[in-house]
């Protein structure tokens, strides 16, 4: 699963890149340690245009009586996305894009503690995750929430962790957002090794209070 990522692209640059109208309450960037349950930048389509908005990272089903009424759903498995009642409607009509610089994953060697890695695009531009979103409302409280779509890792990524976020290339953004009809299911596959760069980072990222660009720097050991 993906449980942390980094996002440093300025909000106005994100709005321009995705041709999306930005909300006035977007999260602070840069953020080198984006954690679950915090607000993140999300692009979705409504009323024939794209919007860049904040959403809570942690999908809240409509039947939850409170945001913490059940498991924290930060990831949704591509293999069961269309079948699980909790995600089924969202995967059909409420898909979104989640921009990032890269994400963190932890590998446990045969001996020793877990080692964090930072995975980022091999080329230019941001890493864009496939997501789904859900508005939740109870007793006057309202939240816009989302989850990342993940799939089975391949190649070198599988040596670090068995799951990987689904990444959407620029030419497929419109299809994932539902702007080009059907076919979004064909996009839910793992990125090849050549599309990614991997390096080890400090265990400082283990703390959800850790801050600063040093979190994504390559470990010199």
Q: Residues 7, 129, 3, 112: what is their CA dihedral angle, to the nearest 10 degrees?
A: -100
Q: Tell me if 78 is assigned to some domain.
A: yes
Establish whether 217 is a catalytic residue. no
> Cβ atoms within 10 A of the Cβ of 138, count?
15
CATH at residue 137: 3.90.1680.10
pLDDT band at 1 (very low <50, low <70, confident <90, very high): low
Share of residues in the chain with pLDDT > 90 (%): 89
Q: Calculate the alpha carbon distances from 127 to 6, 14, 111, 215 in Å.
A: 10, 12, 32, 17
Ramachandran angles phi, psi of 186, nearest 5°: -70, -15
Of 2, 91, 96, 146, which residue is the catalytic one? 2
Q: What is the pLDDT of residue 112?
A: 73
Query: Contact, 38 vs 5, CB < 8 A?
Result: no
In a domain, 140, yes or no: yes
In a domain, 150, yes or no: yes
| Interval 50-75 mean pLDDT | 96
Please identify which residue in the block is written with the tokens 């190649």.
155
Q: How many domains does the chain have?
A: 1
Which residue of the set 96, 105, 159, 217 is catalytic? 105
- Note down the domain range covering 199: 4-216
147-199 tens-digit pLDDT: 999 999 999 999 999 999 999 999 999 999 999 888 899 999 999 999 999 99
Q: Is 124 annotated in the active site?
A: no
Residue 59: predicted pLDDT: 98
């Amino acid at each position: 699963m993906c449980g942390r990522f980094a996002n440093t692209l300025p909000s106005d640059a994100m709005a321009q890149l995705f041709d999306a109208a930005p909300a006035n309450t977007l999260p602070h960037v840069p953020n080198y340690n984006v954690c679950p349950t915090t607000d993140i930048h999300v692009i979705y389509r409504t009323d024939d245009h794209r919007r860049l908005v904040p959403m809570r990272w942690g999908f809240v089903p409509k039947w939850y009586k409170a945001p913490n009424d059940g498991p924290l759903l930060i990831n949704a498995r591509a293999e069961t996305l269309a079948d699980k009642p909790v995600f089924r409607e969202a995967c059909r009509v409420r898909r979104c894009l989640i921009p990032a610089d890269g994400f963190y994953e932890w590998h446990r060697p045969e001996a020793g503690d877990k080692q964090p890695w930072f995975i980022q695009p091999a080329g230019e531009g941001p890493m864009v995750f496939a997501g789904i979103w859900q508005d939740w409302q109870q007793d006057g409280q309202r939240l816009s929430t989302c989850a990342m779509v993940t799939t089975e890792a391949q190649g070198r990524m599988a040596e670090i962790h068995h799951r990987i976020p689904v990444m959407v290339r620029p030419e497929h953004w419109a299809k994932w957002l539902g702007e080009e009809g059907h076919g979004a299911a064909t996009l839910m596959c793992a990125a090849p090794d050549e599309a990614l760069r991997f390096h080890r980072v400090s265990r400082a990222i283990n703390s959800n209070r850790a801050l600063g660009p040093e979190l994504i720097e390559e470990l010199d050991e």
